Amino acid sequence: MNRRLALGAFLIVTLSAPAQAWREEPLRPSAPSMPDPAPAELLSEQMADLSLVDAVFLGLRNNRSIKSAYLWRIADKFDLRVSEDAFNPKLYLSNSYRASRGHADSQRAGQFGATATLLGEYGTVVSLGWSKYHTQANQAGWRRNDGVDFSIIQPLLRGGGRDVTTAPLRLAQLTEEANRLGLKAGISQTVAAIIFAYRELLRAQEQLDIARAALQRSQELLSVNQAMIEAGRMAEFEVVQTEASLASQELGVEEAANLVDRSRLELLRLLALDLSSPVRATDALHAEAIEIDPGQAISLAERQQPDFLRQLIMRQQADINLLVAKNQSLWDLSLEVGANQARDRYGSTYGNGADRSWDSYAGIRLDIPIGDLSRRQGEVHARINVEDQQLQLADARQALIRNVKDVIRDVSTRWRQYEIAQRGVELSKRKLAIERDKLAAGRSSNFQVLSFESDLQNAENARLNTVIAYLNAQTQLDLTLGMTLESWDIILNDH
């Protein structure tokens, strides 16, 4: 089942049941088909059963962190557009008009100019300008001047060469790639946070059910005790133990109910829904063992993990910055070619006239800095940054391998703990049933039954905690490998 949603005018996400194509066994079973979640405005009006798929869907649509990230993506894309526009022609218009009055004369002057420039990929700057100037004086008469200026400047050392000229664009492209990885990382973190919060709500609900079941068993035991007292088979003071246990179970129910409300509020906050919405988590806590190849997982993380990939990008940016810094320390040697033409017309009390002129030039300009250490300062910093990025990359790769191995080991450990906890619940149930039968036959005591009752409740809570921990470890594995969005078939249309 696929769902498609739009976030403002710039987010399109496709969401389906989780898929784990990279594993030997699926991480989660495919979610059954279900109706689309109710709109946010209806959740506050009626009890809403919320599945994990629905929670992720609503989070992608409503979560404020995701919306904020996509808002900043507008600025990021515009930054890239500015860098790409560097090699497009630019046109600059300038206009002015001034009226002045002095003791000898008064005049009005107007000026209009247009200049077009073009930057080539090898640092060539081509400029073409046209300007017109007009003055009108009461005594001196009028004067008009217009002309065209054309120039070509080609840097031969500093600022020249395709690698140096296109460096800002390549840096901007790498920055854009890093920003997209940052968006992926941010959304992955938000999805994981929603999953963790949903499971905390599930845990709280299950703990409330366990507490209520224990309370009911205590009430049943109290009824049995009262019947045995009436039959003369139990001393009346022994019922105090059961009554004390009953009070403790009532307290446990209240604490569990409070935890349900707190977990519900945290989930609703992440989903950006009305905090008064009475939602209930409905997914079953089902776990399956998975097989993970460590080598395959590490290789996958090196290709998918956003933070590690951003570290690779920073390494590439450091190399480009060093190339630019080396170029900036060179002499400034440029080839210059240009031509201009001007026409001057005037009229006064002494007559009218017109002059035409043109000029052209070609030459070389050389600037040699002597004793200026600032030219080397940028290169030194850039070289140090390259070496530092090599160290940072090595550390990031080692940390990635460690994290992957840690989370794989955690998944395996959590599964073994879950199996042990399952056996513990089964044995506790049998132990309690046997002890209750012995109590009915007068071969056990209230204290022993209550002790076994506490053991069963602890075992049920232990099983609940281990299955939640195992499922969360799987989610953390996806996050560590950079596969959260892929596992949930979430496609970010960020073009």
In tens, the pLDDT along 75-110 reads: 999 999 999 899 999 999 999 888 888 777 788 888
Predicted confidence at residue 438, as pLDDT, reads 82
Question: What contacts 288, CB < 8 A, 6 or more positions away?
Answer: 25, 26, 28, 29
SS3 assignment for the chain: CCEEEEECCCEEEEECCCCCCCCCCCCCCCCCCCCCCCCHHHHCCCCEEECHHHHHHHHHHHCHHHHHHHHHHHHHHHHHHHHHHHHCCEEEEEEEEEEEECCCCEEEEEEEEEEEEEECCCCCEEEEEEEEEEEEECCCEEEEEEEEEEEEEEECCCCCCHHHHCHHHHHHHHHHHHHHHHHHHHHHHHHHHHHHHHHHHHHHHHHHHHHHHHHHHHHHHHHHHHHHHHCCCCCHHHHHHHHHHHHHHHHHHHHHHHHHHHHHHHHHHHHCCCCCCCEEECCCCCCCCCCCCHHHHHHHHHHHCHHHHHHHHHHHHHHHHHHHHHHHCCCEEEEEEEEEEEEEEEEECCEEEEEEEEEEEEEEEEECCCCCCHHHHHHHHHHHHHHHHHHHHHHHHHHHHHHHHHHHHHHHHHHHHHHHHHHHHHHHHHHHHHHHHHHHCCCCCHHHHHHHHHHHHHHHHHHHHHHHHHHHHHHHHHHHHCCHHHHCCCEECCC
CB atoms within 10 A of CB 365: 12
Tokens representing residue 438 in the block: 């012995």
Question: What contacts 47, CB < 8 A, 6 or more positions away?
Answer: 278, 279, 280
Bridge pairing between strands 125-137 and 3-7: unpaired
Cα distances (angstroms) measured from residue 101 to each of 109, 112, 136, 373: 11, 21, 12, 52
Please choose, from the candidates 181, 170, 144, 163, the residue with its C-alpha nearest in 3D space to the C-alpha of residue 324: 163
Ramachandran angles phi, psi of 150, nearest 5°: -130, 135
- Ranges of residues in the chain whose predicted pLDDT is under 70: 1-47, 348-354, 495
Give the distance, in angstroms, between the CA of residue 405 and the centroid of all CA atoms in the same chain.
24
pTM: 0.80
Q: How far apart are the first and last CA of the chain?
A: 25
Looking at this protein, which amino acid is placed at residue 113? G
Spatial distance between the Cα atoms of 359 and 435, rounded to a whole number of angstroms:
113
Predicted confidence at residue 241, as pLDDT, reads 78
442, 225 contact by CB (below 8 A): no
Predicted confidence at residue 16, as pLDDT, reads 42
Angle at 422 between CA 224 and CA 264, to 5 degrees: 85
Predicted confidence at residue 5, as pLDDT, reads 35
Enumerate the β-bridge partners of residue 28.
none
* Tokens 């008469």 belong to residue: 141
Bridge pairing between strands 48-50 and 279-281: parallel
191, 489 contact by CB (below 8 A): no
Predicted confidence at residue 353, as pLDDT, reads 65
Predicted confidence at residue 108, as pLDDT, reads 87
- The domains of the chain, with CATH numbers, are 32-61+161-330+372-487 (1.20.1600.10)
Looking at this protein, which amino acid is placed at residue 303? R
86, 168 contact by CB (below 8 A): yes
Enumerate the β-bridge partners of residue 186.
none
Looking at this protein, which amino acid is placed at residue 219? Q
Spatial distance between the Cα atoms of 492 and 495, rounded to a whole number of angstroms:
9
